[in-house]
Every structure is written in C-alpha cells, then in structure tokens.
Structure 1
Amino acid sequence: MHTELLTALLTLVMGSFASQEHFQSFDDGVRPTAQQCCNSLEAVLVSSVILYPGSSGYTDQLGSYYSLDQATQRPACRIAPSTAEDVALIVKYATSSRCEFAVRSGGHMSWEGSSNIGHNGFTIDLEGLKLIELQDGGETLSIAPGLTWGEVYAFLKPHGLHTVGARSPGVGVGGFLLGGGVSFLSTEHGLGSDNVLDYEVVLSNGSIVHANKAERSDLFWALKGGSTNYGIVTRFLMPTMPLTQLWGGFLTYSANAVPQLYERMVKVTDQLKVDPRGLMIICTAWNPATKEHTVWALALYLAPHEYPSPLFDGLQDIAPIGGTTRVTNLGEILDEAGQALPKSQYSQWFTLTFKADAKLPWDVQLKGEDIFGDLESSDAHWEVLVQPMNEGMFSAGQKRGGNPFGLSRTHENLCLVMLVMVFWTNPEESALIKAKTQEYLKVSMDLARERGLLTEFIYANYASGTQNVLESYGEENIKKMRAVKEKYDPNNLLEVWKGGWKL
C-alpha cells in the first residue's frame, strides 16, 4: 500500500476515534474498554479478520496454542491482519488510545500471557501474514511471522534449501527469531536471529520501517533479542543454504545409560570446534505411568555420513533400546521432533545455561522426584532437555553485526542449555504445580551455582515468565537496548503490548 494511502487511513482512524464519546484523549485519563477497541478497529480496518468469543474462528485460534494456560485466556476479540498496513493501523490506534493487546505468531510459549491476553485486551494473531518468497536468485528468503517453520521448510524443500529456523514444525517464525532461536544449524551458523538480514517492522507510532546493517543498524541489533519492546515485525529476510540429505534420528536408552550419555555429550560439544555440523540433544523424562525415567537422544549430522568421527566417537558403544538414525532429510527429523513434545496440556518451562558438565543435568532430573513426588495427579510429569552451545554460536553473532545476548561474557567455549518442562492436565492442580515449578527453578539454579557452573545467559525462548531474561544480557547491552528504545519509542507507547520481557 502506498504511503499516502496509509497516511489517509490513519487520519480516518484517528478522526473516527475523536468523534466518538468514549474515545477521549489519553490526557483526560480515560481509555476505552477492550470491547470498544475491537468495535472501533472493526469499523476501519481494511483487510483484517476480527473474531469474537463464541465464533468458530475465535475458538480455533485459541485451540492452536501450544499450552492450555494460553488457550484458556479470552481476549475481547482476536484480530488477524493480512497486511503490514493493517498491523500499522492497529498499533497506531492501540498506542494512541491505550488499548492493551498481545501478539501471537505461533503461540508456542508456555506461560500465560506470553502471546495471549484476557478480557481486558485484544490479541493480534499474525496467522494471516503468510508471505513467503525466494529472492536474490534463491540466496535469500522473505518470510512473514504468521508462518510456522513447518510451512517454511515445506516451501524450501523442493528447492533443496534450508535456513536457520526452529526444530519443531509448529513453532512460529516471529517469536522464534525475536527470542534468538536455536536451530539444527546453529552450531555452525549461529542463532536464528543472527541470520536475519532485514526486518520490516511496525513501530509504536504506526510507521513501517526497515532495519538492517545499512539502515537503522541500532534497531537491527536490538531486534535480535528485542522481545516486545520495539515493534511488531511483519517480515524477515534470511539467507538460505543448500541442504538435502543428512544423517540423524532418535535413540532411546535405559536410565542406566544416562551417565555415559552425558559424558559423551560433553565430548561432542568439545568436538564441535573441529566439526560444527553435528548436534546431540539428550532428554530425560519422568514417565508417570511406569514411575520410571525414560531417556532419548537426538544425534544429527548435516551431511549423509553415519556417526562421523571424531564428533560421535564412542556413541556407538552405548547400546540403545531402539533408534531411528538413518540417512534422511531434515523434514523427517522435524516431524519426529514435533511428535516428541506433549501437546494440549498445561505446561511450565524454565531454563538455565551452564558450563559443560556431565553430572548436573541428571541431578536436576532426579531433584524433580523430591519436588513433584507427592502429587496425586496420575499424569503430571517433567522433562529435562539438554543441548550444546558452542563457540560457533558465540562467534556467528559477532560476525553478523553482534547481538544483545552477551554470550561472549561466558568465557567458555563449552556450554550447555537446559530446558526443564513440567506438564499436567488437571486445571485444579495448576496453582500447586506452578508453585512447585518455581521451587524447581530455584533448586536447579542453586545446584548449578554451588558447583560453579551457572552462567549469566538466559535463553528467552525456553524461559519462564518469572525469569529475568533481559537482565541476563549484561548491563552494557541493556543500556544500549534502552537507548534504542528511547529513540524509536520515546514515550514508551508499547507498554500496552503485553507479554514478553520489557526493558
């Protein structure tokens, strides 16, 4: 849409607001109700679907959230814009009239309010923004935040291409990239956000701008870990890389194999400095049906070579119970990964990053028995998933203009990221289990700290809403992020955007 038309529409919107009794100026100390916000936006939006409680579309959108905690929130309406211009109209009105809202890309975060809101606001669901196209002769990919990574990969597969995206097909493009984004390609190419070449973003005043190395480079840097502070990104430009066949799959083990597996993971993480094309992830989980711990590992190599040396030396000596490793394509691995996580349950996550150690992850898993062992629920359970962070992840960000995460402060080439997930289905147990999960977080961090293993960095896409994610980036980076915030949203208008982590 041309700038002149957008300006005219904005004028129309603000004029229509001013003419209504309930839309007094913010200076009068009166703000519209969420329902009034929805009604006014419906009158002026050009190409958006507005859904109200009771409609099938509203119910379907809620049903597609990963966590029931998010799905049970009921905003006054859900707005699905299909153009950046409509996003701009919505943001302009919301920030001017102080209407509270949330934004949902894929809805894969677990904590309540991360990408949905209650009756006091409305939710912008970006599912209508589905643009995807190859550019520059296939060397770059333009993608909108309404896509899931499964849709992105399906588009790229016929071209024999891939990009640095999520490892589960249901994860949304937007949230993944604004939180950093750990990918199957990250040990070689860095985080997903390190690979963004350009952001198209709607700022708090409704303007649509681009941020890249050459244009608004300060905003470009900040958006790589920007959460909900700077604006709604309506398009990402990313590089592509050829990838057709690889080797990998899931291996299941008895709990007796856990010490050997974690020792092997530390060695694999060390060997990534020699060959960064591989990855090993270990998950230990409590099985409430059998009252035992189950164990699986994902081994992956971005070429069709089985157990390449020296990366996976010794892994074959640990006998699995079963496995699916084979030469295949990444799509099949993604489908397997998507099936590994429980769905349609209540869940709480938290994370910590620690110096590579073979003992801490299993000790954290066992601490779960002390914390959740007295639950009466028959299906409540927890999982501890661990994966490497290597020098390749640290250096890739610096080579591409830097990022806000402060990963170089760890002074460690070998780090592991832990994701702890707690699941249950009975809503009556929610308050108790959430309290126990916070206890579990404290116990886990204390254990890592006592052993001298805990590092500062908190990975946003795995974090609990109670964790101080932005503070973990370091004082210097936070100071710089705040300066960018002051420049592009000087009046903090985006405080009405709820969810995420705020500066």
Structure 2
Amino acid sequence: MASSPPIVEASLNAAVLCSKLSTALPGKVFLPGSLEYNSSVDSYFFRTAKQTPACILKPQSADEVEAIVKILAANPGVKFAIRSGGHTPNPCQSNVDNGVTIDLRGLKRIDKKEGQDGVLSVGTGAEWGDVYDYLENTGRGAVGSRESSVGVGGFITGGGLSFFAPELGFACDNVVNMEIVTSKGIVNANAHENTDLFRAIRGGQGNFGIVTRFDIKTHERNTYWGGGILYPDTTEDAQFQAWSDLKNGKYDPYAAVIQSYLYFGAQKAFMVSNNMVYLKHIERPTGLAGFENIQPQVPGTNTMRLDTTKNFALELQAWQPLDQYAVYVTTTIKLSPSVGKKINSIWREATNLISDSPNITSVLTYQQFPPQDKDNPNGMGLNASDELHKDHFIIIISIYWHEIKDSERIANTTKDAVNKMEAAAAEENALHPFKYINYAAFWQQPPSSYGQGAKDAAEEVSAKYDPYLLFRKQAVGFKYS
C-alpha cells in the first residue's frame, strides 16, 4: 500500500498531539471552529499570516509553556509556530498550517523589576502600546516599536528598530535579562548567566527557545519633538540632500528619520513622507531642519510637535494597512544620492508593474542603522568598529494588496526589484550583506547574513540548550541554514 501524502500524515500527527496537549493543559488548547481559535487567527495583522493550525495553544505562564515544549519534543513530526504580536506578514513564521501555534498573548504582565531601578519586566505577549501606557506618566521611556500594536517578543528577539535607535541602538541591546523556556527547562539569560544564549537569541528569534519575559532598561524621557510630513515625489533631490547634510556633519544621536517613498493605488499617486523625532525637549531643532524645511509640503500633513512616545506610536499605527495581503523584503546599503536615485528608480519601475492590483500600496523606506554596543554584543554578527550607523541604512520594501490572485506576481516582482537594487548598490561598493530579520521576506534567510562567526556560535548554543534541535527543526521561521 502506498504511504500517505506527507501533509495528510502531518495533519494526523498534529491532531493526535493536540489531543495530548488538551489532556495536559485543559482549557488552554483550542480547535478549529471554536470562538477562541477563530479569534486568534483573525487577529493576525495580515491575511498572508492567517493560516490554519491543527490547534492553537494559549498558555498563561512560563510553566505552561515549558509543559508544551516537553510535549512537542516528544512528537518530532509536528511543526509549531511561536506567536507574540502576530505582526509579520510572512506565512509559516508566527503561524503554521497543519501544526501547532503557541499564542503567547496571555503572557503580558508588566511590572517594575524589584530591586533594579529603571528596569521593567514585560511579558512576551504584551504589545508596545501596553508598555507605553504603563510608562506614560512616569517620565521614562522604553526602546520599543514605533507602532503601538507590535508585539514585544518577536520585535526584541529580531533586534528591534525604534525611535531611539540612533542614540540607544537596537531594542535587544536594551534588555538586561530574559526568561527563556528551552527544551531543557526554564532559564534566565543575561550578562552573567547563560551569556551565550543571551547573545544568540537577540537576533536569533525562535531558534533557541521561547522567551516568556523580558527585563528591559527604561530611560529618562518625557516629551520630545517629532511627527510627520508628507511631500510630493518631486522633492526627491531635496530629500537625499537632507540625508547627506545630516550624515556628513557630526553624528547626531538624537535625530531619527524614517523616510518613505509611497505609491497609493487608490489615488494613483507617488509621494514622500518623513516620520521623525528629535530626542530632546526642543521645538524645531536644527538637527531635523533639513527635512522639516523641504518644500513643497502637502497642506495639512505636518504634525510636528512636542509629544510622548505613546502618541507618536499611535500616530504611526494609524498609517498601518490592516487585513491585507502583504510582503516585506529588506537589504542594507551605504546611502549616497546616486545609490538612492538608482534604488528609487528600480522601486518605481516595479511598482508600475503591479499598480493595476486594486488599491495597492507600495512603500520603499530608508532607516538609519543603529550604533552597536561593543560591550554588549548581540547575535547578529555586527562589528561595532564598522560604525555602520554613520552612513548605512536598512531598507524595507513593503507592499500591501487586496486580492489573493495577485500574491505570486507581486512577490516575484518585489523579489526581482530587491535583486536589482542590490546589484546597483554593489556596483558602487555600497552593498552590505546584513539582512534585518524583522523586515525579511519569506524567501530570504537573514541569519545566514550574520556571518560565519554568528552561525558557529548559534550551532554551539543549540547543542548546549537544545541538543535535539527542537527549535531549529520543528519551529517554523528563519533558520541558520
């Protein structure tokens, strides 16, 4: 008799596993058709991530996560996904078909860390808006997402780009301790214990274990200058000149700019936006003048003011397209006006090829590379002495559309565009191999861009904390090979 197709066998194995999990964790396992299951699937931000696992688990504690991990380890034929916020557009990253999805949003407690001034304990399932609400009236800020609905767990383990990046680096570099469920049990990882795991998981996402709690630094910060401005795309030359002026002077750690070139399919219009902050309580600082003074501006779109992280994050969240199909893709380049013009031209050509998709939105975004902390290296293989923050940028192309029939064509067009961008940057010796994992496309493998040293270290960490490679083989997501 012929063997069963792999997908059928996987479904049967997953169904049996879900039954075992239901016995071990009564009331925490939800099957297709249940209200809790449907609510979890529907809560993903993008349709591309709304998959159909055999069951969804909703643990409420690290001990329950540990029980789940032990059962998964005993059933090696079943894939599983780890979900905190569910903000990635990628399929098979924070959700999975015919497997098990661990929905960590029940782990969202936020408390001051006892005995450690300025340290906040945050459950992995909290959203950054929850953190900002907690800190709103304390005069302190946290290095977190610039959009309030992003989950804490995936954001930090992927690095984390924030409003504070030019001054304080990646969000993961502002963590002092992590509580992690490994296949060998619950451990704390920090600068003094399990230091190898602490380094590797910051940038390694779900390759080594499940983080259930982060103890993060907070910083004295109340209100600062920021907001957004929308311009016609005829301002491109002025936009790149503003970058050149900012980068060619003395490095300013307080100026953070997110520059996006946009195509709005509904209006059939190309535009430019700058969302920016200056991390001091100063109105109209000179550090952002090069961008704020660009003319013309679209009337009524200038929101620059003194405000809090909470409100800046809510403002950006309001621009986030929801419940659409989406693809992200990323690369890293050394920016100059000539490189930028080539990249913009390639993006516009690609956007025109897919502009017939109804109400499509296409975005090309430049973000400053954060400085690296030489005394607290993370797992992304970056060398502080390279000083990438002085002239390198993390680029993301993000496309949003409504009809599933356009998905393959749009993904292929986007893939072709980033390949052309990298070739153009390489011609000017401006291409860097690093791929930021939180912006990577499903076909990219960002851990492979971290370099051989980071890969070798990851292998050693896996052998030590996960000898049966539960997280490297059964957990979906980006891998080191």
Aligned 1:7-406 pairs, distance under 5 A: 33-45=13-25, 49-71=28-50, 73-98=51-76, 99-118=78-97, 120-135=98-113, 136=115, 138-205=117-184, 207-271=185-249, 273=251, 275-309=252-286, 311-319=287-295, 320-321=297-298, 322-375=301-354, 376-390=356-370, 393-394=371-372, 396=373, 398-406=374-382
Question: Which runs of 5 or more structure 1 residues have no equivalent in the other structure?
Answer: 1-28
8 Å CA contact 1:114, 1:499 repeated in 2? yes
Shift of 1:493: 2.4
Deviation string, structure 1 residues 479-499 (Cα, Å, up to 9, x no partner): 122111111112212211112
Cα distance in 2, alignment partners of residues 389 and 200 from structure 1: 28
Deviation string, structure 1 residues 259-309 (Cα, Å, up to 9, x no partner): 111221233244562x31121111111121332211110121112212323
Residues 102 and 160 (structure 1), Cα distance of their counterparts in 2 relative to 1, 3 Å cut: same
Alignment-mate amino acid for residue 389 of structure 1: F
SS in 2 for 1:218: helix
Deviation string, structure 1 residues 55-110 (Cα, Å, up to 9, x no partner): 22212211211211101x10011111001011001011101111321111111111
Q: What's the C-alpha RMSD, in Å, of the aligned pairs?
A: 2.0
Question: Which runs of 5 or more structure 2 residues have no equivalent in the other structure?
Answer: 1-8
Residues 200 and 271 (structure 1), Cα distance of their counterparts in 2 relative to 1, 3 Å cut: farther
Cα distance in 1, alignment partners of residues 12 and 265 from structure 2: 48
Residues 361 and 148 (structure 1), Cα distance of their counterparts in 2 relative to 1, 3 Å cut: farther
8 Å CA contact 2:266, 2:360 repeated in 1? no
Alignment-mate amino acid for residue 39 of structure 1: S
Shift of 1:243: 1.3
Cα distance in 2, alignment partners of residues 487 and 266 from structure 1: 46
8 Å CA contact 2:358, 2:402 repeated in 1? no
Shift of 1:166: 0.9
Residues 75 and 131 (structure 1), Cα distance of their counterparts in 2 relative to 1, 3 Å cut: same
Alignment-mate amino acid for residue 415 of structure 1: H
Residues 380 and 362 (structure 1), Cα distance of their counterparts in 2 relative to 1, 3 Å cut: farther
Deviation string, structure 1 residues 453-475 (Cα, Å, up to 9, x no partner): 11121111111121231121111
Shift of 1:154: 0.6
Cα distance in 2, alignment partners of residues 155 and 450 from structure 1: 48
8 Å CA contact 1:249, 1:300 repeated in 2? yes
Residue 474 (str. 1) matches residue 451 (str. 2): yes
Identity of aligned residues (%): 30
8 Å CA contact 1:187, 1:272 repeated in 2? no
Aligned to 1:455, which of 419, 427, 432?
432
Alignment-mate amino acid for residue 459 of structure 1: Y
Deviation larger for 73-82 or 487-496:
487-496
Task: Give TM-score scaled by structure 1 length.
Answer: 0.88
Residues 364 and 229 (structure 1), Cα distance of their counterparts in 2 relative to 1, 3 Å cut: same
Cα distance in 2, alignment partners of residues 187 and 79 from structure 1: 38
Task: Give TM-score scaled by structure 2 length.
Answer: 0.92
Shift of 1:34: 0.8
Residues 502 and 475 (structure 1), Cα distance of their counterparts in 2 relative to 1, 3 Å cut: closer
Q: Counterpart in 2 of 1:414?
A: 391
Cα distance in 2, alignment partners of residues 496 and 477 from structure 1: 21
Shift of 1:383: 0.4
SS in 2 for 1:159: coil
Aligned length: 465
Alignment-mate amino acid for residue 106 of structure 2: G
